[in-house]
Amino acid sequence: MTIENIAIDKPKRREVLIRTAAAGLCHSDLHFIEGSYPTPVPIVLGHESAGIVEAVGEDVTYLKPGDHVISCLSMFCGHCEFCLSGHLSICQDPEVKPGPGKSKRLHWKGEHMNQFLNLSSFAEQMVVHEHALVKVREDMPLDLAALIGCSVITGYGAVAHTARIEPGSTVAIFGAGGIGLATINAAAIAGAGRIIAIDKDPFKLELARAFGATDVIDANAGDTVKRIIELTSGGVHYSFECIGLKVTAEQSFSCLRSGGTSTLIGMIPVGTRIELHGVDFLRERRIQGSMMGSNRFRTDMPRLIDFFMQGKLHLKEMISARIKLEEINEGFAAMKTGGIARNVIVFDH
């Protein structure tokens, strides 16, 4: 990626101009950088962010200049079948969520510049639909609030909304990166009796304990599924795949006890097929997907901030480094080598 000067439109009807305060580096961005998921280019990436409202377009009533906000790619229209039935995260209304290459808010060298997931957070400013934002309390540090915009809401929502785990249940979580740690933390808040974290990175496994894991498994050390089944005397009630790999998706299903549920959170590369044995479904085991934690972010995110203020949600521990925009490529390189949880770009305005 390179740093360029681009032009950004003034906010139009229902749109808001944000001065970006912080943006997290998410593995999802890396998927697009490396081509695992196609997207039109050139493009400004970034989707996990927080900032301050600078200006609003006409008909915006929810926000005003000076408000502190978190962005979320789960824009919602509020009137389609998905929204009216409580499934806002899978709203596809093109008016609020235009498809890749359709948004016309950014320009570079006089030409169209693509907006990533209708946000483009790796920039000093963003113009977004008001339904991509939630207003938050001003005593919440914005560098920590940015994490809630993707990794935290995704992990928390997968536990609270998609899987709806029960207190005292056993849980296995594959991957202890940003989303995995948030899932572990959410499972602890939800009252899970046993939380097993699985990863190959010793640093992340140690961090997983601080976020609420009761057991950790080094995925380098042999048959992961067998060890989970032995630890839990037959398998877990719930599992969560937070990496986006075929092998861990299949393991997340295989480690379930009868009646258990596997939830796939990670972005599995386009074209990848998951293989499961049909007979295993006779034990009433289930596998399901989760889009951004099936969130209702306008209500979820303020609650998550309250959890943080109460000491229940661990955000400070998730940040490995605060970096400048000029260090973004080094930040993504560090993501691939391991030994970190989350790097966050802090904009110096």
26-72 tens-digit pLDDT = 999 999 999 888 899 999 999 999 999 999 999 999 999 999 999 99
Is 160 found in the same domain as 113? no
Confidence of residue 130 (pLDDT cuts 50, 70, 90): very high
Q: Is 7 exposed, middle or buried (0-12, 13-18, 19+ CB in 10 A)?
A: exposed
Closest CA to 260 of 166, 151, 157: 166
Question: Domain end: 267, 290, 313, which one?
Answer: 290
Is 71 found in the same domain as 189? no
With 90 as the cut, is the pLDDT of residue 20 above it?
A: yes
Specify if 1 maps to a domain. no
At residue 292's C-alpha, the angle toward residues 20 and 124, to 5°, is 10
263: tokens are: 């939830």
Assess contact for 79 and 48: CB atoms under 8 A. Answer: no
> 121-157: buried (b, 16+ CB within 10 Å) or exposed (e) per residue?
bbbebbbbbbbbbbbbeeebebbbbbbbbbbbbbbbb
200: tokens are: 């190959």
Is 12 found in the same domain as 52? yes
Domain count, the chain: 2
Specify if 171 maps to a domain. yes
With 80 as the cut, is the pLDDT of residue 349 above it?
A: no
Specify if 322 maps to a domain. yes
Give dist(CA 219, CA 199) in Å, integer.
5
End-to-end CA distance of the chain: 21
Residue 348: its pLDDT value, please? 87
Specify if 208 maps to a domain. yes
Give dist(CA 98, CA 58) in Å, integer.
19
Is 67 found in the same domain as 109? yes
Question: Domain end: 270, 290, 310, which one?
Answer: 290
Specify if 2 maps to a domain. no
Residue 315: its pLDDT value, please? 97
Is 86 found in the same domain as 136? yes
Give dist(CA 343, CA 331) in Å, integer.
7
Is 168 found in the same domain as 242? yes
Confidence of residue 220 (pLDDT cuts 50, 70, 90): very high
Is 303 found in the same domain as 185? no
Count CB atoms within 10 A of the CB of residue 91: 20
Specify if 285 maps to a domain. yes
Q: What CATH number has the domain bearing residue 50? A: 3.90.180.10
Domain boundaries, position 74: 7-149+295-346
Is 221 found in the same domain as 279? yes
Considering the chain, what is the average pLDDT of its residues? 96
Is 75 found in the same domain as 57? yes
Is 11 found in the same domain as 143? yes
Is 125 found in the same domain as 30? yes
With 90 as the cut, is the pLDDT of residue 21 above it?
A: yes
Specify if 38 maps to a domain. yes
184: tokens are: 């572990």
Length of the chain: 349
Give dist(CA 17, CA 53) in Å, integer.
6
Question: Domain end: 251, 272, 290, which one?
Answer: 290
Residue 339: its pLDDT value, please? 87
Is 143 found in the same domain as 11? yes
Q: Which residues contact 70 (CB under 8 A, 6 or more apart)?
A: 49, 50, 133, 134, 136, 145, 146, 148, 149, 297, 301
Q: Is the dihedral of CA 112, 113, 119, 125 positive or negative?
A: negative
Specify if 323 maps to a domain. yes
At residue 336's C-alpha, the angle toward residues 335 and 342, to 5°, is 15
Q: What CATH number has the domain bearing residue 179? A: 3.40.50.720
209: tokens are: 């304990």
Confidence of residue 212 (pLDDT cuts 50, 70, 90): very high
Tens of pLDDT, residue by residue over 299-348, are 999 999 999 999 999 999 999 999 999 999 999 999 998 888 999 999 98
